[in-house]
Amino acid sequence: QAESQAYLSKVDALMNKYPSPSEDELHAEICAEKAWTLMKFSTDRELAADYFQRAIRMQPDMVEWNTSHVIGLVSAFKHSKTGVEADILEKMRIAKEQDPENLYLAALYLEQRAKKGERIEDEARELASKVLRNPVSSYSGMKPVLRVYRNYVSVDEAIDLAEEAMKNHPDVRYLKRCVALCYKWKIIFFSDRRPKQSMIDRAISLHKEVISLYPHSSLVKKVDLANIFAKSNHSQAKAEQMFQELLERDLEPADKQMLYHNYAKYLNFDRQDQHKSIKYHMKAAVIPHQSFFRKN
């Protein structure tokens, strides 16, 4: 809330500095700020792309705007197994050449090339070492590099990388979130057999800490924690209790859909209750919100 308010205040300040007679004649800086705000706080990627394009047309030499525009285009393909279309991949290549120090873009480009079938393991490790030396932020490149490691190198190496980053910056909450994410991947998606209890305990501890560090945006992490409890030798009851508490909350339709989807998966895989699982998959599907959770 505070962060979004800060963005809006920045836009207002720029509009006061560069007053425009109409929406069609917005200054480049205003267009870029509007685009960034939409990228960060809205799902309207097309409008964000439109604002970036308008800003870039007015000031084509602004490399940062072009990079952000390309990142926005790629985000629409987040759940695609085959990656972006050829024209966007080419835009990524050009943007990377123009903005070689942007490791976030470099990681996204590497991920897209891997989706096209390229072998990128060595490049991934080289990029990871650069990201470790980069100042930490949500756009430092850490999260997309971890995603590349998870899918194309090794989830265990992803955990090691995230742990190393957190060891270097123990007080940075974003990195704690990244480490927690890696343990979730390992425990929920990459374990053929039940993970070691010590790993589950580590994941539980991290998720509890992350939830306390992000109290206003912790729903997904609470769902993740419930799913991790379900894999524990002594916390299955906590998993069900946590899901029930979340199901009782008054949530937005998109959040409710995500929760129903996860609860359905939990019922199917951890409780072997297929009948009830189908019921919750159907509850997710009837919510009129197009998302990954509705289709899967």
Q: Could you read off the pLDDT of 180-201 as tens digits, one per residue?
A: 999 999 999 987 778 899 999 9
Domain ranges in the chain? 1-99, 101-114+122-218
- Contacts of the segment 209-215: beta carbons below 8 A, 24+ positions apart: 209/176, 209/180, 210/173, 210/176, 210/177, 210/180, 213/173, 213/176, 213/177, 214/173, 214/177
pLDDT in tens, 74-99: 988 888 889 999 999 999 999 999 99
Check: CB of residue 154 under 8 Å from CB of residue 175.
no
Confidence (pLDDT) at 11: 64
* CATH homologous superfamily of 101-114+122-218: Tetratricopeptide repeat domain (1.25.40.10)
Helix (H, G, I), strand (E, B) or coil at 173: helix
Spatial separation of the C-alpha atoms in residues 124 and 141, rounded to whole Å: 11
| Residue 283 neighbours by CB distance under 10 Å | 16
Which pTM was predicted? Answer: 0.86
Angstrom CA distances, 270 to 121, 182, 193, 230, 273, stand at 33, 20, 13, 7, 8
Class assignment of domain 1-99? mainly alpha
Q: Do domains 1-99 and 101-114+122-218 have the same CATH topology?
A: yes
